[in-house]
Amino acid sequence: MSDPIAYERDGDVAVLTINNPPVNALSQAVRQGLMTRMDQAEGDAGVKAVVIVGEGRAFIAGADITEFGKPPMEPSLPDVIDRIEASPLIVVAAMHGVSLGGGLEVALGCHYRIAVPSARIGLPEVHLGLIPGAGGTQRLPRVAGVQAAIDMATTGRHVKADEAHKMGAIDVVQDGDPTELGIAYAQKLLDDGAARRPVSEMPAPEGIDWDATYDAVLARGRGQIAPAKAVRAVQASVEKPFAEGLLAERDIFIELMNTDQRKGMIHAFFSEHAVSNLPELKGVDPRAVDHIGVIGGGTMGAGIATAALLSGLQVTMLEMSSEAGEAARGRIGGNLAGALKRGKISQAQHDAIMDKALQVSTDYAALSDVDLVIEAVFEDMAVKKQVFTKLDDVCKQGAILASNTSYLDVNEIAACTKRPEDVIGLHFFSPAHVMKLLEVVVPDKTAIDVVATGFALGKRLNKISVRAGVCDGFIGNRILSTYRQAADQMVMQGASPYDIDAALEAFGFAMGPFAVADLAGLDIGWAVRKRKRAEGTMPDGATYADKMCEAGNFGQKTGKGYYDYAAGAKARVPNPDVMPLIEEDRAGTPQRTFTADDIVRYYMAAMVNESAKVVGEGIARRPLDVDMTLLFGYGFPRYRGGPLKWADIVGLDDLLGDIKSYAETNPEFWAPAPLLEQLVAEGKTFDSLNS
Ligand code: T1G
């Protein structure tokens, strides 16, 4: 590749411009280029200062993540940064876009830093299961203080230029062209006789209560270790001389580089990008979507409308009455008020949305000009078919008709229209303007440009879009149904709901399945069981879960479910009425003890087995599609990468062995997935199917 670092002179100032699209990652060529160009500047007569600037949309987005897991290539980033800092010339970083991870570390290796107002800095390594590995935890405390450094290194959050300036990480914030700003600032420093200012020579900041900080960060990480390790690295910047602090940081970095959590989080990072980049959509132009219709202004419909409005789309909300329409407008207004309060939108944007972009109507004719319509009406096939029949009559040619159904057969819905090629499923997760996951459900006759439009809409709404085939529950809810049944099996065999929740929260879930059920409402499952018993697809006889509901225990919404919420949702005191009901139902079932590890293995075996069936049947395109679904829609812990990444790490042959042993007592539920058996037989991993 051509030299990624351009070299130019402007009077006494040499300008090094990094050009490594798309985000100036610090590849080996960039690192080598910086070393070479620093030598060139120092050998160039008359040069008294150097400016380092990024071409394109970023200063530097960080180390080149594609190099992770491969043998390290010289020069290392710490060596490059030490080389920059040791230069006898004054070195200025001119920053715009993002300066993240190694990018910020390069900037901190410079003697001065100038940035445009829209620039952002950050140390996001914890999102990759790592900590900064090129001096970030040693230099940032020296310019910004310990608290700011710990906040940034443990959360990975992006910090805007003005805040970075206030904390001392950036010296000057000024609007303009980054290169010109850098040259002018360097020239001013020379004119003022400013000295070089190596950060490593600045005094170490005051210490804090490190153990208390470590414990608090560890507890917040819910099993993820990198953030807490970052605290220890910052501690080294205070308690050790700079050179020894660098070594301490490097030791922690290398320790984390070899962890399963790093493997899981890097997998999540790349999968997050790959999941919406489907090969079959390459070169397919999506249809233009500027105006959408939403039918049904309940929580889900209002959330969908909110997400669309926040992305700049015009929305026509259709409800069945003016009162319902106004209630929908109120829900959307409430959602937008939250966005306003969080600074996501300005008051002017809020008012423009509510006064212009959002229209509410009770007349289907109002949808005659929409480019795409999403129905979010009652989950009943007859109702859906009525809606789609009307849409077929009213909507213009080329309009896309989408259902937000969470499990109904979208092929059957498409078949009731004269335009099945324009029908698709867009399954949002509640609250739709907050949850990142969008399942793009593709019926048999859907046109490829309609699929492309679904993904384009998902990107515009800042969603993680996953392609799903048509089956009961698509990807996420189908797998959820299976592992929830596994949890219920364990309850019948002797594990308490409380042990199960505790074991899975220790595994990394934010909430265990029974706490989640209390949050969602136990009456939802009760209604489904009653419907299925009425249809004859479920055996008669009330279970303990039914008896809980018959007693009015619906979970948080009634103050009691599996837990008693009298002391508040955080307390989660077990409801004493539950175990006696469970013990009644257990009668006749052989009992066994479950350790926390047993619980995780049983629960995860069910999740992995069903996931393998979903991939094997083509409902999900690749294992990574299942991983991203569970990460972004079901609270699976990100540092484990997803259920199928976790399975690869723990070993598929052991998992298959577990499943076969469970199948001895329940052969139908635990029938091994053919794909899992095939991978074990071939000695392959789920990851081998992700390319
Ligand atoms: N390395 C390699 N490729 C990267 C990359 C990186 N650091 N960051 C982004 N890309 C690719 C990405 O895969 C995608 O590729 C394209 O750029 C556009 O990304 C030593 C060890 C920078 C805020 O963690 O947060 O430094 O899919 O779609 O939404 O201490 O990417 O198009 O082929 O996300 O505008 C620390 C991770 C590394 C930054 C841009 N840095 N990246 O967001 O575009 S570790 C990070 C991001 C480190 C040092 C440590 C975002 C972004 P493709 P995109 P975007």
105 is catalytic: yes
| Position in ligand 1 atom list of the atom nearest CA 105 | 30
- For residue 238, the surrounding DSSP H or E stretch is helix 226-239
Question: What is each CA distance from 149 to 111, 133, 153, 157, 563, in whole angstroms?
Answer: 18, 14, 6, 11, 39
| Position in ligand 1 atom list of the atom nearest CA 130 | 21
Query: What is the Å distance from ligand 1's center to 225 Cα?
Result: 22
The pLDDT of residue 569: 67
Query: What is the Å distance from ligand 1's center to 273 Cα?
Result: 10
- For residue 326, the surrounding DSSP H or E stretch is helix 322-341
Query: What is the Å distance from ligand 1's center to 23 Cα?
Result: 7
Which of 42, 55, 85, 125 is catalytic? The answer is 125
Top mutation candidate among 65, 67, 96, 691 for ligand 1, by most atoms within 8 Å of CB: 65
Query: What is the Å distance from ligand 1's center to 485 Cα?
Result: 39
Strand order in the sheet with 120-122: 98-100, 120-122, 159-160
The pLDDT of residue 46: 95
Question: What is each CA distance from 348 to 336, 351, 488, in whole angstroms?
Answer: 12, 5, 50
Top mutation candidate among 18, 20, 23 for ligand 1, by most atoms within 8 Å of CB: 23
Side-chain-facing half-sphere of 466: CA atoms under 13 Å: 32
pLDDT lower than 70: segments of the chain:
1-2, 569
| Position in ligand 1 atom list of the atom nearest CA 58 | 22
Q: Which residues have a Cβ under 8 Å from the Cβ of 22 and sit 6 or more positions away?
A: 56, 57
Determine which residue's CA is closest to atom 14 belonging to ligand 1.
Answer: 273
Phi first, then psi: give them for residue 358, nearest 5 degrees: -100, 120
Q: Which residues pair with 555 in a beta bridge?
A: 560
Domains of the chain as residue ranges with CATH: 5-261 (3.90.226.10), 289-468 (3.40.50.720), 475-494+593-691 (1.10.1040.50), 510-590 (1.10.1040.50)
Q: What is the ipTM of this complex?
A: 0.97
H helices then E strands: how many in the chain? 28, 19
Side-chain-facing half-sphere of 274: CA atoms under 13 Å: 18
Query: What is the Å distance from ligand 1's center to 328 Cα?
Result: 38
To 5 degrees, how large is the angle CA 136–CA 137–CA 140?
70
Report the sign of the C-alpha dihedral through residues 558, 564, 566, 572, in that order.
negative
Query: What is the Å distance from ligand 1's center to 101 Cα?
Result: 10
| Position in ligand 1 atom list of the atom nearest CA 131 | 30
| Position in ligand 1 atom list of the atom nearest CA 253 | 21
The pLDDT of residue 342: 87
* Beta strands per DSSP E along 146-253: 159-160, 172-173
Largest CA distance in the chain: 91
How far apart CA 18 and CA 37 sit, in angstroms, is 11
Q: How are beta strands 49-54 and 90-95 bridged, if at all?
A: parallel
| Position in ligand 1 atom list of the atom nearest CA 61 | 22
255 is catalytic: no
How far apart CA 563 and CA 553 sit, in angstroms, is 9
Query: What is the Å distance from ligand 1's center to 61 Cα?
Result: 6
Is the backbone peptide bond immediately before 576 cis, with ω within 30 degrees of 0? Answer: no
The pLDDT of residue 343: 84
The pLDDT of residue 520: 85
Residue 496 buriedness (CB in 10 A; 0-12 / 13-18 / 19+): middle
The pLDDT of residue 1: 56
* Ligand 1 site residues, Cβ closer than 6 angstroms: 22-23, 25, 61-66, 77, 98, 100-102, 105, 124-125, 128, 130, 132-134, 136, 273
Which of 8, 67, 85, 105 is catalytic? The answer is 105
Q: What is the pLDDT of residues 260-305, one digit of tens each?
A: 999 999 999 999 989 998 999 999 999 999 999 999 999 899 999 9
